[in-house]
Structure 1
Amino acid sequence: MKLQLIPLALLLAIATACDRTPSAPAAAPDAAPAQTAPQAAPASEPAPTAAASAPAVQPQTLPPEACKPEAYADFFNDYAGSPGVRAAYTAHTVRVGSLEQPAQARAVAKADYRDFRIGIVDSRWAYLDPAVTDPGAYPLLDLEFKPEGDKSFRVEYVQAEFDADDNVVRTIGKRAAYVFERGNDCWVLSQDLH
């Protein structure tokens, strides 16, 4: 009878060992927190969701050549295309506010920031609106990269209609922008202005 329990105990020990997850990797590079004090969000805005409710994404660091100041457009492609890269290269605090009045932006902790919405769908830039259920129906975007020296760059975007040759026929709505700054020898998302 005791001989039958040994294989069962061994099987349980192996299964328990397999369920353990390895330690998380070292923290990924982030920019230093903004110098200004956070402002309280207006009462009309919904409360931020708890960080624990979102699934954890493992940060994915990029090779040094992808982080060079002149490689900002390639960096942005990586950032937009990978949740892991976004986890690694988003500042501790993202300033979220109006493109017309960026000084009045409110600070949002990295753990609570989930509003990056640009992605690539069928080889085209698109606004990944969470209200849209069919990826083929995402609004297409016209992007403009605006480097500001070696310290920051801005990606301005606006919804647009394109012709068969990918030329902009017309734009729809107002422009918005994401601002990236240098931090820990790479770029980090620091502002979301809409």
Structure 2
Amino acid sequence: MRLLRIKTVLFLIFVTGCSAPSHADKPAAAAPRQQTSQTQNSSKKLEAPAVQSMDADACGNSDQDFDNFFNAYIYRPELRSQYTSPNIEIRQFSDKNKKIGVETKEQNKPFKIGLIDYRWSYVTPNEKAEKFDKIEIKIHRVDETMQVDFIRGHYTNDDTLTETYGAKGAYVFERKNNCWQLTQELR
């Protein structure tokens, strides 16, 4: 009977990989459980929704800061609403002083510039991504604003622009609330 108990204990030790804990081993045994719990909690944090704000380097006033902002604006569409004015002025591309009207940010959709297969593309509603035209964009400062001009274009297989076509458009971003904000569309 004693032999059976020894075999059972040895079997349990072998199967569970445990050894009889000494007094010194008890605190160490508790630590991995806490780490496992922290690991589980940190994995929950990773699954939480992304922070809904721009990085600090995207909200600066330099041209490079605006490039960072615009890339985030394109790549993270969930941020656009926060960095779009509630009312967007629609103006003529050829004469910015001629106001066509005003649209709410809900009416002014979709944002017409997107990246499809790492190429600037003209985004239109209800079309499949492979149908989007490629565009040429130019980002430049106009007084205290940043303007993103765009026009459709034909490109060679090596992405060389051969010609542009169609109407020009632009988006104008102003510094508001310590960051950039879309305030105008030029058509």
TM-score class, shorter-chain normalisation, is 0.5 to 0.7
Query: Which structure 2 residues correspond to residues 95-110 of structure 1 after superposition, within 5 A?
Result: 95-103=89-97, 104-110=99-105
- CA RMSD in angstroms comes to 1.9
2 CA distance for matches of 1:176 and 1:137?
19
Instruction: Give unpaired runs (5+ residues) of structure 1.
Output: 1-57
Q: State the structure with bigger RCO (CA 8 A, min sep 6), 1 or 2.
A: 1
- Of 125, 128, 140 in structure 2, the residue corresponding to residue 130 of structure 1 is 125
Rg larger for = 2
TM-score (normalizing by structure 1): 0.64
1:190 paired to 2:175: no
2 CA distance for matches of 1:181 and 1:112?
20
- Displacement of 1:110 in angstroms is 2.7
Query: Which whole-Å deviations, capped at 9, do the CAs of 1:84-136 have from their partners, x for residues lacking one?
Result: 2111100121112321233323122234332421111000010111142x211
**1:156 aligns to what?**
149
User: Contact between 1:128 and 1:138, CA under 8 Å: does it hold in 2?
Assistant: yes
- Of 34, 57, 61 in structure 2, the residue corresponding to residue 65 of structure 1 is 57
TM-score (normalizing by structure 2): 0.66
Structure 1 residues 185 and 97: CA distance shift in structure 2, 3 A: same
- Displacement of 1:174 in angstroms is 2.1
**2:159 aligns to what?**
166
User: Contact between 1:60 and 1:87, CA under 8 Å: does it hold in 2?
Assistant: no
